Chains A and B, each alone.
Chain A
Amino acid sequence: NAGVMQNPRHLVRRRGQEARLRCSPMKGHSHVYWYRQLPEEGLKFMVYLQKENIIDESGMPKERFSAEFPKEGPSILRIQQVVRGDSAAYFCASSPKGTGATDTQYFGPGTRLTVL
């Protein structure tokens, strides 16, 4: 059973470009979570999605950031018009069908975004 897959592992963008981060959950998992981690800091929750639904986006910046988890295909975290402050590691996690407050989350290896 393959784990959570994220790609790309490393992404370099210039200021003003768009960044698209992809996450394929573990087989059979229908819940996806996105987190951001700055160097030497903890995890900051961004968004929690089920297939075709955003359940909790309380951690998403109001502008430039969006996320989706379509019926088919990976979950996508999209950052428009990136700025240097967006440089961070972005982690995706998935969990089986259940509640977002009790399921064990399984993490992908992360995408490290660098904005030049």
Chain B
Amino acid sequence: AQSVAQPEDQVNVAEGNPLTVKCTYSVSGNPYLFWYVQYPNRGLQFLLKYITGDNLVKGSYGFEAEFNKSQTSFHLKKPSALVSDSALYFCASGGGSASKIIFGSGTRLSIRP
């Protein structure tokens, strides 16, 4: 069955430090994986997408995500966090035998100055 899990409700990081937001997925077949960001009182903004090819996907605002097939993970990363990165982040999966994209429960990222 298709599923997406974001195991952390909240991630706290100091500005300038690297950040990781975790995501694991379950899709029969080849997955399509997405990351979105939501700022307060706004819609979701597309960050990046994995289809096939390189396991490291680069996206907007300096974010990247690493696809790991053996661990069925697609963690979002950034080498140096900014206070302005504080927002709600959603992982999503589709592809394979899925009929639609489904979203994880979201992880709130808080970057302290």
A contact residues vs B (CB 8 Å cutoff) = 4, 6, 33, 35, 41-43, 45, 48, 56, 91, 93, 100-110, 112
Contacts and interface: CB of A to CB of B under 8 A. Distances in A.
Contacts, number: 59
The number of chain B residues touching the other chain, given as a range, is 20 to 34
B101 A101 contact: yes
B74 interface: no
Interface in B42-63: 42-46, 49, 51
B99 A108 contact: no
B100 A56 contact: yes
Which of B41, B95, B101, B104 has the most C-beta atoms of chain A within 10 angstroms of its own C-beta? B101
Contact of A56 (B51, B90, B99, B103): B99
Interface of B: 32, 34, 36, 41-46, 49, 51, 90, 94-96, 98-106
19 contacts: A33-B100, A35-B103, A42-B104, A42-B105, A43-B90, A43-B103, A45-B103, A91-B44, A100-B100, A101-B32, A101-B101, A102-B32, A102-B94, A104-B34, A104-B49, A105-B46, A107-B36, A107-B44, A108-B43
Given A42-B103, A56-B99, A101 B94 contact: yes
Contacts of A56: 99-100
Nearest to B51: A102
A52 to B, nearest CB: 19
A48 to B, nearest CB: 6
B76 to A, nearest CB: 16
Contacts of A6: 43
B23 to A, nearest CB: 13
A105 B90 CA distance: 13
Contacts of A93: 44
A91 B101 contact: no
Contacts of A33: 100
A102 B33 CA distance: 9
A110 B43 contact: yes
Nearest to A110: B43
A93 B90 CA distance: 15
Contacts of A43: 44, 90, 103, 106
